[in-house]
Chain A
Amino acid sequence: MNPTNPTAVVTGASGWLGQNLVRHLATERERVRCLVPDTDAAAPLELISPVIETVVGDVRDPATVDRLFADVGAASVFHVAAVIHPRRSTREFFDVNVGGTQMVLDRARRAGSSRVVHVSSNSPFGANPTPADRFTEDSPYNPYMGYGQSKREAELMVKQANDRGDVPTTIVRAPWFYGPYQPSRQSQFFTAIRKGRFPLVGDGQQQRSMVYTDNLVRGLLCAERTEAAAGKAYWVADAQPYTLADILSTVRDALAAEGFDVADRRPPRIPRAASVLAEKVDAALQSRGRYVQAVHVFGEMKDTIACDVSRARAELGYEPAVSLFEGMRASIRWCRDHGERI
């Protein structure tokens, strides 16, 4: 275990995971240099702690990334910035997730960063071939759509940067996450479940790995400090995958425990074929550079996407401390406390 690096650089610092990470780093580092996309995002971060410094700009822009790395020396770098739901076209996946990653790797090398922890995803690996299968660190790439392709290319560049001696890197693959500082699409998810409108695709027995943001932050810090993790990739998620039916009922329980009225009705059922169709529509749209978030998310609902975290546990000392029920409660409380309607 390396000692705590006093300086951290975080891209995507004002995003969902970024905010969780930065708040944690602010309690234990001397300097946390944050990249944020606009000035509106900078002020709230700077209020958290005097150790937080913000740089406003685009991760694709060489001058911006130069400023991000100016005078930070051998910092730990957490590359969190990415596009998951593009606003205009699928081109943004590649611009930011590939082009931005290249820019960060190059500046981290020049600055002499001690470690780049790169946040990746399950999407470079598609869906599990069978319900019993679990992704491990040895699973082959099978990228799902534009996002999966872009995150796969980013992983390859991150690995190459380590292997050719540019900068030590570790990849952390996170599945679907939940927790505070979520975007408003997440409160819509809670609302839909509370009202009994969130549909179950097929029999609801397809499984999903999920990760509570605080568990994921712990995983990122383990990846930063473990000397032997350089050049490797790890799945970081909650201890076990859940069935979709379980996720829905746990969220219902968590909503009830937080005092919400939960509609007493069975979730609507949608045949699996509809999700298969959505995947086809998504593929056709993406081949024309178009992206419709609802179609994309619905197309993925039919699949099992589950990973095995035992290597992160064994090699990084990662322990997922928060369970789904507690994590969802914390997430729901955050929505309520921040004026989100559920």
Chain B
Amino acid sequence: MATMTTEVLVIGSGAGGAVTAARLAEAGRQVTVVEEGPWVDPDRHEPFSLDEMVAKYRHRGLQGALGSPAIAYAEGRCVGGSTEINSGLYHRLPDYLAEDWRTAYDIEDFGAEPLARYAAQVEEELGVSRLPTAPPPSSAALERGATKLGWRNVEFARVFRYDEAGRGTKQTMSRTMVPRAVAAGADVIPDCRVLRLDRKAGRVTGARCERTHPDGGRELLHIAADHVVVCAGAIHTPALLQRSGIRRNIGNGLKMHPTVKIAARFTHPVDHGDVPMHRVTEFDPYLTIGGSASRRGHIAMALAEASPDIVEPMESWENISVYYAAIRSHGAGRVRAIPGLRAPLVTYKLTEADMSRLAQGLVHLGEVLLAAGAVELYPSVVGGPVARDLDDLGRWWDRTTRANTNLMTVHLFSTVRMGNDRSRTGADSYGRVWDHDNLYVNDGSLLPGASGVNPQAAIMAIATRNCEHFLATI
């Protein structure tokens, strides 16, 4: 077995891990980052393409949380994590949530004001901006429909930088924080999966990893570390901790944004290279309406969720774009590592209120798309009738059942909640895992609830805050 030694071992290189690595390396700490997925040149794959899904997604994007109904979820599995594959939409954590979480979980030095400070720092560093030009047709449709109905809507900022010609580049971790960490001396080891952590008397001594070489050969690698920061996301962080024997308040209380979709056909071609940046915020904080990636493959998948007969609508796929409604869910789920299996068992239980809210979201999404001029709506509900006018939408309420509804999510949280209330948290107010001196979590697992908006901004701000605390105390 190969061995190496480092001061700080960061497991995972997404929004949490890359920020952690850059902050600590730039403060002079010796940092090693291990990433289960490959290191992919961010310019190599067409964004949102099938190639990209194969290269950067865990299980090629096909994973599910079991329950009634099951919920498909997607995670990045590459250097940069989900920041490489998401839409780059950037939204600070709503102030009221920061305050709610601070009181509900007794989180020290947390709240709207301190988080705003860290968010401002991240925005300055990454570049967060709105479009310099008119929005693409798929996004303009949402704005047009919402404006017609008098619904609040907003163009979200994105972690994008634009060149003089107006061409935008998403500021993924592999373009920003990972190179910064490397420049400050951090080692990044891709294709390296952590099997378990070694522990001794309330301390973690290192990690046992399995490294895959370009020729496909595998070797075991032991990395001894003074400090270990787990940033593997809300599914794999708790799974790794459980595999390492750490179970108290780990992997329970999984939160997400369950999402329904509609493939909407317009009378004109829509763009397919980008994700709409407009959002309908009329129904905040209960549900959000926006646009999804709409490559040809996404459109085929979305159509198939309404009906297996997709040949005819696919003939006009260039006129179709996919939109979604995501809810704040009352339900919760669990992550359980299963001995012998690489992937943990993920379950999620939706409440009756959740199912109702999803139906409501589908109906409102239908309203805004019809107002935008869509002529045919294919909901992600099996046999959900294709809607052509407002009279059809009401029928979706009773069709949106547990048996018929196809759900997905890209936002996962809360499996190692942070706070001083030990009875309900897996880590302290700064992400140190309870009963361990030198083991930390610093990713979306720490958020005690669903963020209601794209969580990348919140994860990066909280990761920055926790690194500052680490550097000040250790």
With A63-B390, A66-B390, A110-B150 known as contacts, the answer to whether A99 contacts B352 (CB < 8 A) is no
> What are the residues of chain A within 8 A of B363 when measuring CB–CB?
60, 62, 99
- For the complex formed, measure the closest distance between the CB of A102 and the CB atoms of chain B, giving whole angstroms: 7
Determine whether the beta carbon of A95 is less than 8 Å from that of B356: yes
Determine whether the beta carbon of A98 is less than 8 Å from that of B360: yes
Within 8 A of B (CB), among A284-316: 289
* Residue A89 lies at the interface, judged by CB distance under 8 Å to chain B: yes
* Residue B467 lies at the interface, judged by CB distance under 8 Å to chain A: no
Determine whether the beta carbon of A89 is less than 8 Å from that of B352: yes
With A60-B363, A95-B359 known as contacts, the answer to whether A90 contacts B352 (CB < 8 A) is yes
With A98-B360, A99-B397, A110-B150 known as contacts, the answer to whether A62 contacts B352 (CB < 8 A) is no
Within 8 A of A (CB), among B114-167: 149-150
Closest to A60 in B: B397
Encode contact with A along B43-67: 1 for CB under 8 Å, 0 otherwise.
Answer: 0000000000000000000000000
* Residue B394 lies at the interface, judged by CB distance under 8 Å to chain A: yes
Determine whether the beta carbon of A62 is less than 8 Å from that of B359: no
> What are the residues of chain B within 8 A of A57 when measuring CB–CB?
394
Bound Cα distance from A91 to B402, whole angstroms: 11
- For the complex formed, measure the closest distance between the CB of B148 and the CB atoms of chain A, giving whole angstroms: 10
Determine whether the beta carbon of A102 is less than 8 Å from that of B360: yes
The interface size of chain A toward B, counting residues with CB under 8 Å, comes to: 26
* Residue B393 lies at the interface, judged by CB distance under 8 Å to chain A: yes
Interface of B is mostly: helix
Determine whether the beta carbon of B393 is less than 8 Å from that of A99: no
Encode contact with A along B354-366: 1 for CB under 8 Å, 0 otherwise.
Answer: 0111011001100
With A91-B356, A94-B357, A99-B356 known as contacts, the answer to whether A58 contacts B283 (CB < 8 A) is no
Determine whether the beta carbon of B352 is less than 8 Å from that of A94: yes
> What are the residues of chain B within 8 A of A89 when measuring CB–CB?
352
* Residue A19 lies at the interface, judged by CB distance under 8 Å to chain B: no
- For the complex formed, measure the closest distance between the CB of A47 and the CB atoms of chain B, giving whole angstroms: 28
> What are the residues of chain A within 8 A of B282 when measuring CB–CB?
106
Determine whether the beta carbon of A95 is less than 8 Å from that of B390: no
> What are the residues of chain B within 8 A of A95 when measuring CB–CB?
356, 359-360, 397
> What are the residues of chain A within 8 A of B149 when measuring CB–CB?
106, 110
Closest to B393 in A: A62
Binding site for B on A (CB under 8 A): 57-58, 60-64, 66, 89-91, 93-95, 98-99, 102, 106, 109-110, 146, 149-150, 153, 157, 289
A sample of 24 cross-chain residue pairs with beta-carbon separation below 8 angstroms, ordered by A number, consists of A57-B394, A58-B397, A60-B363, A62-B363, A62-B367, A63-B390, A63-B393, A63-B394, A91-B352, A93-B353, A95-B360, A98-B353, A98-B360, A99-B359, A99-B360, A99-B397, A102-B360, A102-B364, A106-B149, A109-B150, A110-B150, A149-B353, A153-B353, A157-B286
